[in-house]
Structure 1
Amino acid sequence: MTASEKAPATRNNDLIYGLNDRPHLTATVFAALQHVLASFVGIITPTLIMGSALGLQSEIPYLISMALFVSGLGTFVQARRFGPVGSGLLCLQGTSFSFISVILSAGFMVKARGGGTDEILSTIFGVCFFAAFIEVVLSQFIGKLRMLITPVVTGTIITLMGLSLIKVAMTDIAGGFGAPDLGAASHIALAALVLGTIVVLNRVDVPFLRLGAIVIGLTIGYVVAWLMGVVDFNSLPEVPLVSVPVPFKYGFSFDWVAFVPVAVIFLVSPLEAAGDLTANSMISRQPVKGPVYIRRIKSGLLADGLNSAMAAVFNSMPMVTFAQNNGVIQLTGVASRYVAFFIAGLLVILGLFPMIGAVLQLMPKPVLGGAELVMFGTVAVAGIKILAEAGLHRRNMLIVSISIGMGLGVAAVPEVLRELPKALHNIFESPITVGALCAIVLNIFLPEEFIELEEDEFDPEASVLQVMQNPDMPAKGEPTPATVVAQSNR
């Protein structure tokens, strides 16, 4: 290893414990708790949204338990590193918002043909299991993938992800699907309280409050809703004391129509995760170029893919490396990967108690909707930021305008697909699929000059490094879709 490939010898004053340091127990537990706090809402919310939208109320407590359980296992694998699997960094794995829209499409498709709870979930998890291996394979060719899935393609897809979910957030703000009093003033007031709390806390100068803004906002909204008599704890579902993880509890099914949209998102996930891992490496004072860095990125992406497959086995949605935990490292000054072992243990323990999911299930939809609006809007804005950094010149504007127009147009007027064969109709009714396909095809047939990077030159986060080193300077060069993970709370 050359000197330029080694981590800096001098430790940054803000970093108290380096990657391989072993903090004392108090510091370890304190740091682990903050990571769990920062990621808890992100881990459980996708499952809450999926279960509520698909009418799977009886299974939500168990599904939330499994989301926490597999997040703990995935975090351990990523930090512990088993052979070529795992980055060896303090990075937390959790369920991804990116998959919500396509998973809901798959679930509604099965539901429309008369499928019950078991068939819906077996199809979702079966499709996610196979699709995860797309990321497993692509993790070894991340440099080449970047040549096809360029920032303009990824920015378009991420923007569509956020925009397509806004309807879900607004419906929850109004009271939720099927609410008899949809749009009642009390619903709007609760959502406004949560939204206002998050906005205010994000503007304070206390880093801890900013990191926990969504958790605090949801907690305040939940308590106020209880005081208003909206929450009835007497209606808590009966759940066992302990959740026993059962592989493919609901069975195992596969559907090509449901598979395609999920596979599209797994094309983008490796690029986004590469940015997470690069930002984490930089914060942890690890190499951000050279063969050591390349091996770490490949190993981390391989773990991401295998963890998503494991999540499907244990009845949970696909996982991704969380970005917000990079902020916790900066806040605590603790980058030790040994902290991740405590985080993993806490998440696994939390996942064994379904009562946690049962209590969260009673959270009123307007309370959740107030936070969803922020989270989904942030996803859309992150995509817009990638597009802006990629450069909205004539070629890129043409790609973006057609792709987003087609994606949102199909969602708004599904009748446009009426003449298509049933199989194609089901595939293309997803705005993500339509928009992504348009962006990829247009990007190929409207090429621009580029220099193909060699594997050992791949630097997926050059623009993030520039921005983080000089926040007032716009990023230059070709940014990657992973820019979002260093600059937004997923």
Structure 2
Amino acid sequence: MNNNLLYSVEDKPPFGLSLLLAAQHLLAALGGIIAVPLVIGNVLKLPTEDTITLVNAALLISGVVTIIQCRGIGPIGIRLPSVMGTSFTFVAAALAIGFSEYGVAGIMGASLVGSLVMIIGSFFMPYIRKLFPPVVTGTVVMMIGLSLIPVAVDWFAGGQVGDENYATPENLLMATFVLVIVVTLVQWGKGIFSAAAIVIGMMTGYVVALCLGWVSFDGVNNAQTFAVPQPLHFGLAFPISGIIGMSIAYLVTIVESSGNFLALGNATQTEITGKHLRGGVLCDGLGSALAAIMSTTPFSSFSQNIGVISLTGVASRHVVALTGVLLALAGLFPVFGALIVSIPLPVLGGAGLMMFAMIIAAGIQMLDNIPRSKRNGLIIAISIGCGLAVTTRPELLDKLPHFFKEVLGSGITVGSLLALILNLILPEDKIPENH
């Protein structure tokens, strides 16, 4: 983590530079934002135009909610550089509803009603904040980084395990090339070259990939130039079991978002209060309700972008609000999103591996400041061990009832819940052991 921020939360870099720095956050988030609607569209075998509706709405509403989260409206928004996007936490619940007789209308209705869990929960965040002392916060931040590493590794290798081109020497070379550029610019670059290291590294990789003929423009050629997402495109239905499933996913997201916001506070050198968490989670819940009305899936804060801040030292909320503007434009101009999606995975992987590893480093630094005691060691070890167990071997939960798979499907959630519970039940050490 950078101890000296290039731009702090309230700084406003010049517009041209801000645009470049905002593009950096856009590149980090875009894949994750469109992944959820693409997965739901493909698994439920929706018509292409319906999947495009899900994607466009996800981009547009991500942009709007990101702007509100960064700038704030009254009590809504954390007023820190937080990118918001569709969350994988809701995929299992969404697919279960999608395959029922209620279809996509059921997903939207259950999302809308379930968002009340987050909206109401936000008012209890000052109390929830007390459950996150440094040992819990550091563990959660570290678990966020660790759970993102497998994603970065697959990007680095150019796809999924089992793909024909997975981890070919060419893919690994391309990703390493981008990684070396990013590291070099962060370490030795000055001014804009250091601040925009990720976007410069990815643009360089993209140009090389273009010269090698790796870039496919099929998506760009087939994309509409302009499209406005339609409210209630799929209609609304309210299945009781679906609402329960979505409500559980929203409870999990409160824990996950709290962890992300605490990690964001660490990256931006901001003391996160209960008021911050209340504004952030309220924005998250209201954004998810808006997403349901505008025909896409629920939202949460994006941990990828905390890595961008940690790596570059650019913590300006005005830069990330501009990212929100770019995301909204991508939702209105699908051809723009299609162009971003044409970036080859190894190019993303070279930057992604570095960004997510920086979140782990931030967690280690936070844990370095707590007393070294048997109790703290147990909290960290059990939480991270079990969180990694779920992250690396999700099959571990396959034979459990659906409810448990739903709640424990994310390593971040498992690690966070265990850290919270262990911190509450393990007795305090009388004398810390000095090692």
TM-score by length of 1: 0.67
**Offset of 1:343 from its aligned partner?**
6.5
- Report the Cα offset of residue 445 of structure 1: 0.9
1:94 aligned to 72, 83, 87, which one? 83
Match of 1:398 in 2: 378
Residues 423 and 404 (structure 1), Cα distance of their counterparts in 2 relative to 1, 3 Å cut: same
Using the TM superposition, give the Cα deviation of residue 175 of structure 1 relative to its aligned residue in structure 2, in angstroms: 2.4
Read off the aligned partner of 2:76 and give its amino acid letter: V
Aligned residues: 411
Cα distance in 2 between the residues matched to 1:161 and 1:241:
36
Q: How many Å separate the matches in 2 of 1:327 and 1:156?
A: 17
Residues 257-296 of structure 1: pairs in structure 2 closer than 5 A: 257=245, 260=248, 263-270=251-258, 272-273=260-261, 276=264
Matching of residue 246 in structure 1 with residue 237 in structure 2 = no
Match of 1:222 among 180, 200, 206: 206
Structure 1 residues 77, 362: CA separation in 2 closer, same or farther (over 3 Å shift)? closer
1:302 — aligned with what?
282
- Which residue, 174, 186, 192 being the options, matches 1:208? 192
Distance in 2, matches of 1:60 and 1:374, equals: 31
More divergent stretch after superposition (128-137 vs 402-411): 128-137
The answer for the alignment partner of 2:159 in structure 1 is 176
AA aligned opposite 2:147: S
DSSP-derived class of the 2:384 partner: helix
% identity of equivalent residues: 30
| 1:198 and 2:179 matched | no
The Cα offsets for residues 449-477 of structure 1, whole Å up to 9 and x where unpaired, read as 9xxxxxxxxxxxxxxxxxxxxxxxxxxxx
* 1:375-386 alignment, distance < 5 Å: 375-386=355-366
Aligned partners of 1:411 and 1:330: how far apart in 2? Answer: 28
Structure 1 residues 419, 245: closer, same or farther in 2, change over 3 A?
closer
What letter corresponds to residue 204 of structure 1 in structure 2? W
- Residues 1:40 and 2:26 aligned together: yes
CA distance in 2: counterparts of 1:329 and 1:166, whole angstroms:
19
Partner Cα distance (2:55, 2:200) in 1: 19
Q: CA deviation at 1:176?
A: 0.6
Quick check: 1:440 aligned with 2:420? yes
Q: Which has the larger radius of gyration?
A: 1
User: Post-superposition shift, 1:48?
Assistant: 4.7
Please state whether the residue corresponding to 1:247 is helix, strand or coil. coil
Shift of 1:294: 7.6
Shift of 1:395: 0.6
Q: Which residue matches 1:464?
A: none
Deviations 1:329-360 (CA, angstroms, capped at 9, x unpaired):
9979x98x7x9887755543343110011122
Q: Which amino acid aligns with 2:65?
A: G
Displacement of 1:313: 4.2
Name 1:358's counterpart in structure 2: 338
Contact 2:59 2:327 in 1 (8 A): yes
Q: Is the 8 A contact 1:142 1:271 kept in 2?
A: no
1:163 aligns with 2:154: no
Instruction: Map Cα deviations across residues 404-428 of structure 1 (whole Å, 9 max, x no partner).
Output: 2222224445565566434334543
| 1:230 aligned counterpart, secondary structure | coil
DSSP-derived class of the 1:229 partner: coil
Report the TM-score, using the length of structure 2 for normalisation: 0.74
Distance 1:364 1:69, change over 3 A: same
Contact 1:38-1:324 within 8 A present in 2 as well: no
Change in CA separation of 1:106 and 1:150 when aligned onto 2, cut-off 3 Å: farther
Tell me how far 1:377 sits from its aligned partner.
Answer: 2.1
**Deviation at 1:167?**
2.1
**Structure 1 residues 423-448: Cα deviation after superposition (integer angstroms, max 9, x where no partner):** 33454344334333322221221143
Are residues 1:318 and 2:288 paired?
A: no
Contact 1:78 1:300 survives alignment (8 Å): yes
For residues 355 and 371 of structure 2, the distance between their equivalents in structure 1, rounded to whole angstroms, comes to 25
**Residue identity opposite 2:214 in structure 1:** V
Distance in structure 2 (CA, Å) of the matches to 1:427 and 1:37: 34
Among 387, 391, 398, the alignment partner of 2:367 is 387
User: Do the aligned residues in 1 keep the contact of 2:136 with 2:423 (CA within 8 Å)?
Assistant: yes
Q: Which region of structure 1 is more displaced relative to structure 2, 138-147 or 299-308?
A: 299-308
Q: Provide the aligned C-alpha RMSD in A.
A: 4.5
Name the CA distance, whole Å, in 1 between partners of 2:173 and 2:405.
39
Q: Is the 8 A contact 1:166 1:377 kept in 2?
A: yes
1:85 aligns to 2:76 (yes or no): yes
Q: Which amino acid aligns with 2:191?
A: P
Quick one: distance in 2 between partners of 1:342 and 1:52? 25
The answer for unaligned runs of 5 or more in structure 2 is 1-5, 430-435
Corresponding letter in the other structure for 2:199: V
Q: What letter matches 1:74 in structure 2? A: V
- Residues 1:43 and 1:132: Cα distance change in structure 2 (over 3 Å): farther
Q: 1:340 to 1:446 in 2, by over 3 A?
A: closer
SS of corresponding position for 2:226:
coil
Write out per-residue CA displacement over residues 58-114 of structure 1, whole angstroms, 9 at most, x where no aligned residue.
688666644542344235435665443346x5x5552359x55x356657x65xx99
Which position in structure 2 is the counterpart of 1:478?
none
The match for 2:432 is: none
